[in-house]
């Protein structure tokens, strides 16, 4: 049995640029509230980002930007460990071991995110296919209890559970079985240009997402151009009004008004009025967020990541050596 005082939380975001409201509302904004009652570990998962081609200079900039977004969102390095995945080599080492002893082709063939990203193209990297195994090793190295994520990552957390159970039953009870932590609201923010697909950094059009670093003009333009549904009623109805339901969710989460209150406020008013007000709410949020973001220097971020690396490595090394012993390679 592994004893720990506080539950351990692990989560991460890929530094693939253009972090958006979906990443914020579905994941990062929830993290700060978890810091007091849990041991929190937040990772900039750069080795996940390279499953898709990245420009080296852009990637370097995006790693700093992502960690800065964590800090601007209230993640406190005195309470939580913040680090860069590639700097703790135990992640890739454990991924290889899990690839060999726990993961099966049939498991990975079921992963819907791979299917969405590969879009039937066989000429994609093996890393893109194997991404969920690296994610499992990220989680399992730290005795994680809970993984706060958006809904799109639920299947990957479930795979982590399967891989951990297989290893534990075949070798030794070394891995804690993690649970996904998914909030009801905001877990799947949809694209502004297509309410049937999730908001995504790698979307083909910038009108799909509101970037956390977008200017007020960009944000306003994107909201005003957002797709709407037939009819003119402002009503939450995911089945028949997916676009307005998505905009209502964003409005509610950023304004702290309930969806019911918003429906009452906008009764008898059209989409135009609603979008104008939503644009203001989003711009206010971005302005506050960016004020905090702009106060943080790159130097400060580098120092936070270095300190975080030492703490993370300390935990990861111990777990990996136990794994290696049980495999017979140490
Ligand atoms: N649209 C979304 N709504 C709610 N949560 C979301 N997340 C992502 N998109 C939404 C959550 O954000 C966290 C970080 O995601 P990621 O960077 O690891 O990659 P992703 O899930 O693949 O997100 P993107 O934005 O679609 O990135 P790209 O386009 O680079 O793949 C996760 O917790 C995720 O659930």
- For range 124-134, the mean pLDDT: 96
Ligand 1 pocket test, pick from 41, 63, 153, 157 with the greatest ligand atom count within 8 Å of Cβ, gives: 153
117 is catalytic: yes
Compute, in angstroms, the gap from residue 202 CA to the centroid of ligand 1.
10
For residues 113, 62, 287, 38, the Cα torsion angle rounded to the nearest 10 degrees is 70
- Alpha carbon of 265 to ligand 1 centroid (Å): 31
Give the chain's end-to-end CA distance (angstroms, integer). 22
Q: What is the mean pLDDT of residues 80-86?
A: 98
- Judge whether residue 1 has pLDDT over 70: no
pLDDT of residue 32: 94
pLDDT by residue (tens digit) across 166-207?
A: 999 999 999 999 999 998 888 899 999 999 999 998 898 999
Q: From atom 34 of ligand 1, which residue's Cα is the shortest distance away? A: 150
Active site residue 201: yes
In the chain, the domains with their CATH numbers are 8-182+300-327 (3.40.50.620), 206-293 (1.10.240.10)
User: Is the separation of the CB atoms in 52 and 153 below 8 Å?
Assistant: no
**What distance in Å separates the CA atoms of residue 50 and residue 59, rounded to the nearest whole number?**
9
Tell me the mean pLDDT in the region 203-220: 96
**Is the confidence at residue 122, as pLDDT, over 90?**
no
Q: Which residues contact 78 (CB under 8 A, 6 or more apart)?
A: none
User: Is pLDDT above 60 for 286?
Assistant: yes
3-state secondary structure of 198: strand
- Using the atom order of ligand 1, give the atom closest to the CA of residue 148: 33
Separation of alpha carbons 207 and 21, rounded Å? 13
Mean pLDDT value of segment 237-258: 96
**Which SS3 state, helix, strand or coil, does residue 42 take?**
strand
Q: Which residue has its alpha carbon closest to ligand 1 atom 8?
A: 23
pLDDT the model gives residue 4: 53
**CA 17 to ligand 1: nearest atom:** 30
Mean pLDDT of 295-317: 98
Distances in Å between the Cα of 44 and the Cα atoms of 10, 15, 38, 104, 272 are 11, 6, 19, 27, 38
Residue nearest atom 33 in ligand 1 by C-alpha distance: 149
What pLDDT score was predicted for residue 164?
98
Measured in Å, residue 201 CA sits from the centre of ligand 1 at 7
Percent of the residues in the chain that have a pLDDT greater than 90, as a whole number: 90
**Region for residue 205 given its phi and psi (left: phi exceeds 0; alpha: psi -120 to 50; beta: otherwise):** beta
Condensed to tens digits (0 to 9), the pLDDT of residues 7-55 reads: 999 999 999 998 999 999 999 999 999 999 999 999 999 999 999 999 9
Tell me if 153 CB under 6 Å of ligand 1. Answer: yes
The model's pTM is: 0.94
| pLDDT range class, residue 85, cuts 50, 70, 90 | very high
Centroid of ligand 1 to alpha carbon of 170 (angstroms): 33
* CA of residue 270 to ligand 1 center, whole Å: 31
- Decide: helix, strand or coil at residue 82: strand
Whether the Cβ atoms of residue 142 and residue 7 lie closer than 8 Å to each other: no
Residue 3 scores a pLDDT above 60: no
Which of 110, 154, 165, 198 is an active site residue? 198
- The whole-number average pLDDT for the span 239-264 is 96
Residue 2 pLDDT greater than 60, yes or no: no
Q: Is 291 an active-site residue?
A: no
Q: Is the CB of 220 under 6 A from ligand 1?
A: no
211, β-bridge pairs: 20
């Amino acid at each position: 049995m592994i004893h720990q005082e506080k539950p351990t939380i692990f989560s991460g975001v890929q530094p693939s640029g253009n972090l958006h409201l979906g990443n914020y509302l579905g994941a990062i904004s929830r993290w700060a509230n978890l810091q007091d009652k849990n041991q929190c570990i937040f990772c900039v998962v750069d080795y996940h980002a390279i499953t898709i081609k990245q420009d080296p200079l852009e990637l370097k900039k995006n790693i700093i930007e992502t960690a800065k977004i964590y800090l601007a969102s209230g993640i406190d390095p005195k309470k939580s460990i913040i680090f860069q995945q590639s700097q703790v080599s135990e992640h890739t080492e454990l991924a290889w071991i899990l690839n060999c002893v726990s993961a099966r082709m049939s498991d990975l063939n079921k992963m819907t995110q791979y299917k969405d990203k590969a879009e039937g193209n066989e000429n994609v990297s093996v890393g893109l296919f194997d991404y969920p195994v690296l994610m499992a090793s990220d989680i399992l190295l730290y005795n994680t209890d809970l993984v706060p994520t958006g809904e799109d990552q639920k299947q990957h957390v479930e795979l982590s559970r399967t891989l951990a159970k297989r290893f534990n039953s075949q070798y030794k009870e070394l891995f804690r079985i993690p649970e996904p932590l998914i909030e009801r609201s905001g877990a799947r923010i949809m694209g502004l240009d297509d309410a049937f697909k999730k908001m995504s950094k790698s979307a083909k059009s910038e009108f799909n997402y509101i970037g956390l670093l977008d200017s007020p003009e960009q944000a306003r333009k994107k909201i005003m151009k957002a797709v709407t549904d037939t009819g003119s009623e402002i009503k939450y109805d995911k089945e028949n009004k997916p676009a307005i339901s998505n905009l209502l969710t964003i409005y509610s989460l950023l304004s702290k008004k309930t969806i019911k209150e918003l429906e009452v406020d906008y009764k008898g008013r059209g989409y135009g009025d609603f979008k104008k007000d939503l644009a203001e709410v989003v711009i206010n949020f971005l302005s506050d967020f960016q004020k905090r973001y702009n106060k943080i220097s790159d130097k400060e971020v580098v120092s936070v990541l270095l300190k975080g690396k030492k703490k993370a490595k300390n935990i990861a090394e111990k777990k990996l050596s136990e794994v290696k012993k049980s495999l017979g390679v140490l």
